[in-house]
Amino acid sequence: MTAPRYDVIAIGNAIVDVMAPSSDELVEELGLAKGGMTLVDTARAGELYDAMGSAREISGGSAANTLAGLAAMGAQCAFIGQVADDQLGSIFAHDIRAMGIDFDTPVRATDNTEANPPTARCLIFVTPDGERTMNTFLGASQFLPPAALDDETIASAAVLYLEGYLWDPEEPRSAMRRAIEVARGAGRKVAFTASESFVIDRHGDDFRALIADGLIDILFVNEHELASLTGEADFDAGLAALDGKVPVVVATRSAKGAVCMADGKRSEVAAEPIDKVVDTTGAGDLFAAGFLYGHTRGEDAERCLRRGAIAAAEIISHYGARPEADLKALMDEKLG
């Protein structure tokens, strides 16, 4: 096997986050599920945008956020995701390339119709407690075709990282299945993040089949997703249900820290203390970044978890899902 060109290549939604502070009253008035993620159509996206206060536009997307964290720590990364030929598409492409992440997916034409939608955006209402309520218009991102994949590039990454959110639309689901075949054929590892419980509710049978077929090497879930995936309400029972089926399971528990089960061995870390939770957007994404950075460098599970906890703590201390502090320096300071 040749040495990998990339540490991680990811396939995910290419989204621009539009974030604004919000009162709890506005979230309730708009009928939003506080703390959750809801898919919206073009009309609803327009309605919610009009209701937002002063907002910031920040390139996002779960897998892209993870790569941003990895790149900030010094990893070599590439991203595969679909944007449209519009302003937000240009913003997304510029932002991800500016971080040193390779992004070569051809843009898609748009006329703002259902058949040719604009670039995806996520409208995020951030309440005073730091909780984020996300409303996602998937737009062009759900039209990523298998033809957009470059087999040689996928095979050149040590880890293929897949975003569960993107499993819903048919085209990108087919693209990810193809990518799994290529990565496995090249002897590379496949990492998968479940993304959200509602995704598991819709596609849990697919995910459980991937696990049963031995196609997932590293699985990222939070405690709620673990329960949805395994059908076990008890956290430890959920971990036990995956024992022997996935080589590495990483389960985050918010303020209660995180657990890793790697080949039957359990490792656990506490959450990193911070002064104030400002915005939880991207906490899981950056936890995955820290863990994968350590994993691709052969570190033990506990150190990988520590990296994840440090990265997650940095991201929830400010607005937005992209790191603002020097993550590499922060890791050196915290881990020595």
- Residue 324 confidence (pLDDT): 83
Question: Is 69's pLDDT higher than 90?
Answer: yes
25 within some domain? no
> How does pLDDT run across 313-326, given as a tens digit for each residue?
998 888 777 888 88
Q: Which amino acid is at 148?
A: A
Question: Is 135's pLDDT higher than 80?
Answer: yes
> How does pLDDT run across 6-42, given as a tens digit for each residue?
999 999 999 998 889 999 999 999 999 998 888 898 8
Name residues whose C-beta falls within 8 Å of residue 43's C-beta, 6 or more positions apart in sequence.
none
Give the long-range contacts of residues 322-329, CB within 8 A, separation 24 or more. Answer: 322/58, 322/59, 322/60, 322/65, 322/68, 322/282, 323/68, 323/69, 323/72, 323/286, 326/72, 327/69, 327/72, 327/73, 328/72, 328/73, 328/74
**Residue 281 lies in domain:** 6-13+61-117+142-335
> How does pLDDT run across 158-191, given as a tens digit for each residue?
999 999 999 988 999 999 999 999 999 999 999 9
Question: Is 279's pLDDT higher than 80?
Answer: no
34 within some domain? no
Q: Confidence band (pLDDT; 50, 70, 90) for 301?
A: very high
Rounded to an integer, the average pLDDT of 78-96 is: 94
70 within some domain? yes
- Residue 244 confidence (pLDDT): 92
Distance, in Å, from the CA atom of 17 to the CA atom of 15, rounded to the nearest integer, reads: 6
- What proportion of the chain, given as a percentage, has pLDDT over 90? 75
> How does pLDDT run across 224-241, given as a tens digit for each residue?
999 999 999 999 999 999
User: Which CATH number does the domain housing residue 180 bear?
Assistant: 3.40.1190.20
- Residue 1 confidence (pLDDT): 66
Which among 119, 134, 41 is positioned nearest to 320, based on CA atoms?
A: 134
167 within some domain? yes
Q: Model pTM?
A: 0.90
293 within some domain? yes
Task: Specify the DSSP element, H or E, that contains 251.
Answer: strand 248-252
Which among 336, 38, 57 is positioned nearest to 165, based on CA atoms?
A: 38
21 within some domain? no
228 within some domain? yes
47 within some domain? no
- Residue 49 confidence (pLDDT): 85
Total count of domains within the chain: 1
Q: What is the DSSP letter of 3?
A: P
17: three-class secondary structure by DSSP: strand
